[in-house]
Structure 1
């Protein structure tokens, strides 16, 4: 198990380029199964979850070739369907949350699939109903073995239909899109997720010969085609990493420029951080955050306490609420952070309280942060990273704190952020990785 030793209190300076988007990568990599032709994907982040999915695709028979530092080609011509019946496949798939999105392409192109209960962050219940209800509406037959935690689906008779999703699940929408792409007839998905990553998936499938309209809205129409051809696709920069860097700059009083951020795809992320008092300037496609000692949280127009909550796109992404929470600890003012989607995601605040932060955990979904305006700086402690986003939030806290912090279980951070210690050290941070 790896750990970080962080010497806090150092101001950073320089430019940093965000990695390719992790959440998009998991969808796009599964989509290579939709065609027997070569698919080239650029800007693939070198992180554990993505690398494990690429390894799983290779085990399934996909020919994977590295084309450059961040580019790979994938040819899913000869898939080993018998491999899907092995314990090795089920074990690998269960260790990766994104593996559930293999089912859509497998049903669509090969008529069936099976997978064990996917793993991932321990942030609360993450139900799979939207995926499987969507498959069933397309005509798939679903079986769940509760004892083995094994999902098995027969998709040999998929036909287009109308469906209203019970939740705008991003991975659920992606899975249903991929299943419908090669199904017979037209599929209409209402209350579809419309995140930029879903838009990217639809645009990639259309470039392969698919027929998807309504891209960018919550009403998608998919006309099934007989087959898809190869394509080349470039991932967006990771909006969660961009938000993390904005928060890092504010907490450490650093002057940082985030390069090639695809600002037009960030939605309300920049404005949400501005409401926390963080000054940032958009320069072309770059985001410049000047070094400032103080930042003050806004109130609502009537003077009441600001609430920052997560919502489906184009609302604020839940993956950045952990960053908002830690950034607010050193702001001037008070904010209520409301995490609606996952009931365990705020449980890392005890570490921030141990560091000296003033936080009231109201319940599993809400925390009130009383900003200290740097009058009482955080102090270094030893702590453990519980999940990807909380881990980076604790790293940001440690970089801003007085003294030395030890963060254990940084493999969780590595699942979502590539070379994070090396990239931040290049800006002047003092992070040492050790076992």
Structure 2
């Protein structure tokens, strides 16, 4: 004879009701069922027990603790078990304070007397008067975004200041209007002034006696922190596991690296392109390079130093002329010529000093009209042909001033 056990599980409303009814069915050749063979097997609920959260549990997700420290422990334990996170949205200054004064609070009897906009999670009427010290409201981290207007105003101001940026993607907010929240109420109960009859006159008399006893310090209350915890079904519009990363749109970063090759003398630029880029002609550029090299050689000879190769001055003059003629900043220009910013600045300053030192020499040259007159007189005297000596003399006298 074979025996099998069929277990029927009922979803309990409270941990105390978490009982499994097991019906033993006996299968034999005649398929007879043994009636009445039913046993109760106590077991824990499938979900975490809410008894661990409260000192006294009134409902599966509602109860109270006797201290603020215990309330904070309950909040931490609940977040760890449910893998959720709640942030404080609103808290009153008197919440959790030990130096409370009853003169500033109204004596209440049930939650209908609290004329506040938020939901009331204090217990139903039990005939015991109490005063509400303060409340605290915590919302899910994916709750309501209450700074939408301020964010839009801030980003609009940034876009006005940064006109050069054509498009700026706004950051994706994690707020998805999740309604889950935790409500805490800090109350002080006075069981000694409990009324037996639920009448207005009885409550009025007890309230007067309680107020008189509080003024004379003849009574002490019982501190309770009522806590309303959310259920798993209260969360919506997001994953319940905070460790799972939210999908974000990939941001295409702008490549600020310079793909253009550095400008050099051997760059294939026409005369017009060279003049447009460096604001001088090629002949004037070569003249400046030669004069600067000549000055450096003279200084090295006077100092008794060996004359080194001065080919790098071609690049120095190019870089300085480009920086003087362009609207780019120092960092951009130095990166274009593959030079460090400090070295690029030193080169530009040295070239500027060279131009200042040569200023008297350039200004002492005769004007262009005087040079043309002298050139014509020399040609007539020497009676030379234009294709022999004249081009060389013309180039020499037509150096820029």
- Interval containing the TM-score (normalised by the shorter chain): under 0.3
Identify the structure with the greater strand proportion. Answer: 1
Does 1 or 2 have the higher relative contact order (CA < 8 Å, sep 6+)?
A: 1
Identify the structure with the greater helix proportion. Answer: 2
